[in-house]
Amino acid sequence: GLAADHRPCGPAPDDQAAEGHLADIHDLGELRAAVTALKAGGERVAMVPTMGALHDGHLTLVREAKRHAAHVLVSIFVNPLQFGPKEDFKRYPRPLREDREKAESAGADLLWTPAAEEMYSAPYRTFIEVEALGRRWEGASRPGHFRGVATVVAKLLQVVRPDRLYLGQKDYQQS
């Protein structure tokens, strides 16, 4: 099943990172432990949050992150909160195997693929709202979209607490 597919295998995450292999982590507790271990070494951790379906833009962010930090964590989470009722959350592409290979070849050390149930334990009721900016422009035609983005990014940041964060500038309003 999906959970088995995400489960890390082989050596511990920090050993894998040291060898240049991607540590593939699904579980929140394991991710926390891996990040804590990396930070204990005193080196920088950079984060590239994504929704997967990685393309050259994402990989440029990963390479740039790697120039400025010893460890690069890529998260892949198709965030249900930022999809409207008429937007296709279920059909959003999830080519995990290819994403894993691309992330690794661009220099990522850790891949975190959180589960929706762990990010938003039911009943989920806490949100980050960006007043004014979250409602104008794209926010006007996609009500709740920026609330979903701001909420998930805040949650991802709270878990990882990276030294650096890399976001594409394609989504001007979001960045």
Which residues form the catalytic set? 58
* Distance in Å, CB of 10 to ligand PAF, minimum: 27
What residues does 48 pair with on adjacent strands? Answer: 74
Number of chain residues interacting with ligand PAF (CB under 6 A)? 10
Q: Does 23 bind ligand PAF (CB under 6 A)?
A: no
Helix (H) or strand (E) holding 72: strand 71-76
* Distance in Å, CB of 36 to ligand PAF, minimum: 23
- Please state, in angstroms and rounded to a whole number, the distance separating the CA atoms of residues 43 and 153: 22
* Distance in Å, CB of 160 to ligand PAF, minimum: 13
Q: Which is nearer to ligand PAF, 16 or 82 (CB)?
A: 82
Helix (H) and strand (E) counts for the chain? 8, 5
Nearest partner of 49 among 137, 153, 119, 126, judged by Cα = 153
Q: Does 25 bind ligand PAF (CB under 6 A)?
A: no
| Radius of gyration of the chain measured on its C-alpha atoms | 16
Residue among 13, 49, 139, 144 that touches ligand PAF (CB under 6 A) = 49
Structure-token pair, residue 71: 């460890």
Q: Does 152 bind ligand PAF (CB under 6 A)?
A: yes
CB burial of residue 35 (10 Å; 0-12, 13-18, 19+): buried
Give Cβ neighbours of residue 67 (< 8 Å, ≥ 6 apart). Answer: none
Q: Does 16 bind ligand PAF (CB under 6 A)?
A: no
Q: Which is nearer to ligand PAF, 51 or 115 (CB)?
A: 51
Q: Which is nearer to ligand PAF, 18 or 51 (CB)?
A: 51
Q: Does 171 bind ligand PAF (CB under 6 A)?
A: yes
Residues that bind ligand PAF (CB under 6 A): 49-51, 79, 82, 149, 152-153, 171, 174
